[in-house]
Structure 1
Amino acid sequence: MTTDEFLPRHAIVTASDSGIGAATAIALADAGMDVGITWHSDQQGAEHTAEAVRARGRRAVVAHFDATEFDTVPQVIDELCEALGGLDVFVNNAGASTPRRLLEVPMQEWLETMALNVDGAFLGMQTAARRMVAAGRGGRLIAVTSVHAHQPRVGLGAYIAAKHALLGLTRTMAQELGEHGITANTVAPGEIATAASGRDSEDAERTHRPGVPLGRPGKAEEIAAVIAFLASPASSYVTGADWAVDGGMLQMGPEAGSGLPDDSWREL
């Protein structure tokens, strides 16, 4: 089959109880998809996302999901697929970071960061891809990474190493799965106003960021809009690509480096 024959009807978005994940689930529902919604610690948030999906006339199935419980990851994804009636789009959004300087990172914390951001992502996308290959209808794999898959930041060494690995993994999937009509892409958010940062989309409009060309943080809905495009038939010839959705932040490397007024960037 070819990628331009792809018509998505069923999607799974991990960590869709809030923030980028919730906005993505809603955007995919707006695009006509039934959505599998997962949560790790906020079941109420997941149910709220499900209500928003159903309000758009689409089906929503909610499941608890821990990307670090490797024995259960395939089972949860398979159960969601069965409940939805198939799988066309898989968005790996689950991930987290713990700010800490590398000299202070315990080995166990390093391993936990890799387990969540890389190992669990690999297992989830592998499980999704196997189902897509077996179904023979093509598919979309989309991994949420970070601008820090390209540029480092003090205090996020383990997370940044993990996001670099996730970027490489997704690009290799693009190579290997193209013959099955499956595309694999990454979306790299910059600073986004979400509940995890104690802000929301309205706060983004009120927050000034001199070092970002667009002058503000992003909104979860702006990330979701790009993911929705990559999940759509319109992205049929896009694979192995990394989409920075960062207001131009990554373009400011040398400019920011020469323009910083003091050493505050060295602090966590």
Structure 2
Amino acid sequence: MSQPKGTAIVTGASQGIGRAIALRLADDGFDIALNDITIKMVQLDAVARDIVAKGRRAVVVIADVSVEDEVREMIDTTVRVLGGVDVMIANAGIFTFGSVLDADVEKFDVTYSVNVRGTLLCYKYAARKMIEQGRGGRIIGASSVVGKRGVKDYIAYSSSKFAVRGLTQAAALELGHHGITVNCYAPGPIQTEMLRSLKEQRERWTVERGYDPSSIQQVHNAVGYEGTPDDIASIVSYLASKEAHFITGQSISADGGICLT
């Protein structure tokens, strides 16, 4: 086994975009700490086997990213087993539906606890460890196209992904002098199980409230097709590299041309 390029933590790594990122970073030469919640253990173990087959080390670290003690332990375990933290990918997130008029406060709070507090905690404890190590690092979060342009009926999810951009910009300004860059990726529609479920749930949510399903706002991009998890993983691969040292505080769109900013 060759010397690793470093160690990367990927949250929400059991499937979809998180899985693709973990596998791509393993191909790039990183040892990988794979995180998700307990019910995803079987999927995580499968990803770990795939990474080991690539000649890299992998460790599964179960944690709820919204719980501070669990995030702290996730970082400590990664350092103990793999020797450090060089890249943090705060990918874990959840989505909920709801308009301004119908917003469910409990669901709103749960969405923010994972998407915003979870991202903050990953940034916080990864940055502390990177500063302690003294060799810089890369911190990368998950925003969304709806974190750049609001979409009706996504009041909690959309606003939480706007918040990730704010966290990323503020953290980039604070951590740059430590050699740590902080960026996030903002995907559009990506072919994942989450997207399929999202479409089904949104149509069901619309019908339950007596709305015409045809009223669902469709998002059309310039290229005319959905992306894949590997499309996002390739962007993360570059942001995690040494070559990306001069890019920080950015929210990189990968949406086929939906948000042209």
Question: TM-score per shorter chain, which class?
Answer: 0.7 to 0.9
Give the deviation of 1:174 after TM superposition.
0.7
Distance of 2:196 and 2:162 partners within structure 1: 26
Query: Which of structure 1's runs of 4+ aligned residues deviate more than 4 A?
Result: none
Q: Secondary structure at the match of 2:61?
A: strand
Distance of 2:166 and 2:195 partners within structure 1: 27
Give the counterpart letter for 2:153 in structure 1.
Answer: G
Counting only pairs closer than 5 Å after superposition, residues 181-196 of structure 1 correspond to structure 2 as 181-196=179-194
Give the deviation of 1:71 after TM superposition.
2.7
Distance of 1:210 and 1:38 partners within structure 2: 31
Q: Secondary structure at the match of 1:71?
A: helix
Deviates more, 1:99-108 or 1:137-146: 99-108
Task: Kindly provide the CA deviation profile for residues 233-265 of structure 1, in whole angstroms up to 9, marking residues without a partner as x.
Answer: 1111111111001111113x9xxxxxxxxxxxx
Give the counterpart letter for 2:241 in structure 1.
Answer: S
TM-align CA RMSD: 1.7
Give the counterpart letter for 1:250 in structure 2.
Answer: C
| Alignment length (residue pairs) | 237
Determine if contact 1:24/1:228 at 8 Å carries over to the other structure: yes
Q: Which residue pairs with 2:214 in the alignment?
A: none
Among 151, 154, 160, the alignment partner of 1:153 is: 151
Q: Which runs of 5+ in 2 are unaligned?
A: 198-217
Task: Kindly provide the CA deviation profile for residues 59-108 of structure 1, in whole angstroms up to 9, marking residues without a partner as x.
Answer: 00002121122332211222122211101000000111111222222222
Give the deviation of 1:210 after TM superposition.
8.8
Among 110, 114, 117, the alignment partner of 1:116 is: 114
Q: Secondary structure at the match of 1:170?
A: helix
* TM-score after normalising by structure 2: 0.87
Percent of aligned pairs sharing the same letter? 37
Distance of 1:214 and 1:189 partners within structure 2: 14
Give the counterpart letter for 1:99 in structure 2.
Answer: F
Give the deviation of 1:176 after TM superposition.
0.8
Deviates more, 1:217-226 or 1:156-165: 156-165
Among 86, 92, 95, the alignment partner of 1:94 is: 92
Q: Secondary structure at the match of 1:78?
A: helix
Q: Which residue pairs with 1:16 in the alignment?
A: 13
Determine if contact 1:35/1:61 at 8 Å carries over to the other structure: yes
Give the deviation of 1:198 after TM superposition.
3.4
Q: Secondary structure at the match of 2:220?
A: coil
Q: Is residue 2:163 matched to residue 1:165?
A: yes
Q: Is residue 2:249 matched to residue 1:240?
A: yes
Among 28, 50, 58, the alignment partner of 1:31 is: 28
Counting only pairs closer than 5 Å after superposition, residues 44-123 of structure 1 correspond to structure 2 as 44-123=42-121
Q: Secondary structure at the match of 1:12?
A: strand
Distance of 2:90 and 2:243 partners within structure 1: 20
Determine if contact 1:8/1:231 at 8 Å carries over to the other structure: no
* TM-score after normalising by structure 1: 0.85
Give the counterpart letter for 2:254 in structure 1.
Answer: V
Q: Is residue 2:238 matched to residue 1:229?
A: yes
Distance of 2:219 and 2:9 partners within structure 1: 36
Give the counterpart letter for 2:110 in structure 1.
Answer: E
Distance of 1:136 and 1:89 partners within structure 2: 13
Q: Which residue pairs with 2:139 in the alignment?
A: 141
Q: Secondary structure at the match of 1:141?
A: strand
Q: Which runs of 5+ in 1 are unaligned?
A: 1-6, 200-208, 254-268
Determine if contact 1:8/1:233 at 8 Å carries over to the other structure: no
Q: Secondary structure at the match of 1:67?
A: coil
